[in-house]
Amino acid sequence: MRSRSISQQPRRFSETGAWEPWLEFVVKGIRSQAAEAVTRTNDLRDLRREYERTYGHEKTAADRLAMRLFKQPYVTTNDIAELLDVTQQTARNAIQELEGQDVLTETTGKKRYQEFKAVDIFDILDQPLE
């Protein structure tokens, strides 16, 4: 007997009237996704609290940038200069400081037109789904 794909399952259930197994399958999938969303949200909230303890005083441009990564976790030097209303050099200094603390990492491998991502935030977002 040939294996049926998931997309063929609803038709088979409607033809045989066996909707309960199909609905149970769908509900389990929704429950699993909801649980994963809650876990990621909690992990992000915990990380935000940690950042608030470390960078929340916002005394430096690097502190201010770290706190804003939750709204914009992928940035360029120009983005940072505009976001923080600072010079390009101050933006580069903030990037360099946060790279040294493993908060940001460069993603392009280029010397110019570099882009940076928030390491901890993307670690949470990129966790494999169970």
CATH code: domain of residue 70: 1.10.10.10
pLDDT bin (cut points 50, 70, 90) of residue 10 is low
pLDDT bin (cut points 50, 70, 90) of residue 32 is confident
**Domain containing residue 99:** 6-125
Q: Is 32 inside any structural domain?
A: yes
The domain tally of the chain equals 1
Q: Is the pLDDT of residue 130 over 60?
A: yes
Q: How would you class 75 by CB atoms within 10 Å of its CB: exposed for 0-12, middle for 13-18, buried for 19 or more?
A: buried
State how far the alpha carbon of 59 is from the alpha carbons of 54, 62, 121, in Å. 11, 8, 22
What was the pLDDT predicted at 26?
86
Q: Is 130 inside any structural domain?
A: no
Between CA 77 and CA 75 the distance in angstroms is 7
Q: Is 20 inside any structural domain?
A: yes
pLDDT digits (tens, 9 = 90+) for 66-96: 999 999 999 999 999 999 999 999 999 999 9
The CA-based diameter of the chain, rounded to the nearest angstrom, is: 68
Q: Is 104 inside any structural domain?
A: yes
pLDDT bin (cut points 50, 70, 90) of residue 9 is low
pTM greater than the 0.85 cutoff: no
Between CA 36 and CA 24 the distance in angstroms is 18
Q: Is 27 inside any structural domain?
A: yes
Position of tokens 């010079």? 87
Q: Is 108 inside any structural domain?
A: yes
Q: Is 68 inside any structural domain?
A: yes
- Mean residue pLDDT of the chain comes to 88
Q: Is 1 inside any structural domain?
A: no
